[in-house]
Amino acid sequence: MSAPLRLSEQLREAIEEEVATGRLKPGTHLDEQELAERFGVSRTPIRETLSLLAGEGLVEIRPRRGAVVATLSPQRLVEMFEVMAELEAMCARLAARRAKDSELGRLQDLHTRCAQAAQAQDPDAYFYANEDFHQAIYAASHNDYLTEQAGALQRKLRPYRRLQLRVRNRMQRSLQEHAAVLESIRAAEPEQAALQLRNHVVVQGDRFADLLAEMRQFEESPVSP
């Protein structure tokens, strides 16, 4: 049984989720007092939480302005997705060599969840199932350090990976790519699994243009209460 999360870690997860879902958009000022009142805590754990988020790169601490949700430049975003693609390719390569039958079964279950969400045209359900699918590949690599690094970068990119799912037909294409990755891992084909997962994650060409278009709409659109 896992140990309970510290308050600052619980708050970090809650604020991460608000960034990923768009409630807290890039450039938003994070007022310590407002956050403390909203979460029903003192300012001390909020300050600790903002420090954790700054360490992850999700928050920037700016002179005279305090904490704001980080805004990534297009070039920085491309660079991060390039690194993410290589980390995940390594995970897939190792998973194809090391995955246990139980882990293959979990990957199949998560792929089914993704398929159900895509069939229902539910991008939120797909986002969470997709996230679990990728994390299951990290775990199946049986390399704890690699899993930690991939997970850390995945957290930084959560809002942008979520935005990609707004692009027309992206869920269905993502599902097809998942199927190919899963088949290569199941068939113990390390290089093929790595290639397929790298191509699935990297954002280039039309995919990058589509993501930038979604980012503009995301930043301009009002947030639902």
d(CA 89, CA 200): 9
pLDDT at 218: 63
pLDDT at 221: 60
Per DSSP, the chain holds a count of helices (H) and strands (E) of 10, 3
Same domain, yes or no, for 82 and 113? yes
Same domain, yes or no, for 180 and 89? yes
Longest pairwise C-alpha distance within the chain: 56
Domain boundary among 29, 51, 69: 69
**Which residues of the chain register pLDDT less than 50?**
1-3, 223-225
* Structural domain span for residue 214: 74-220
pTM for the complete prediction?
0.79
pLDDT at 213: 76
Token digits of residue 95: 């998973």
Same domain, yes or no, for 61 and 87? no
pLDDT at 222: 53
Question: Which positions ≥6 away from 180 have C-beta within 8 Å?
Answer: 196
Q: Which residues of 137-158 are buried (b: 16+ CB within 10 A; e: fewer)?
A: bbbbbbbeebbebbeebbbbbb
d(CA 196, CA 180): 7
Question: Which positions ≥6 away from 92 have C-beta within 8 Å?
Answer: 137, 141, 181, 184, 185, 190, 193, 194, 196, 197, 198
pLDDT at 224: 43
Same domain, yes or no, for 87 and 176? yes
Token digits of residue 125: 């359900």
Q: pLDDT by residue (tens digit) across 145-177?
A: 999 999 999 988 888 888 787 778 889 999 999
Same domain, yes or no, for 199 and 100? yes
Check which CATH number belongs to the domain holding 30 and give it: 1.10.10.10
Q: Count of domains in the chain?
A: 2
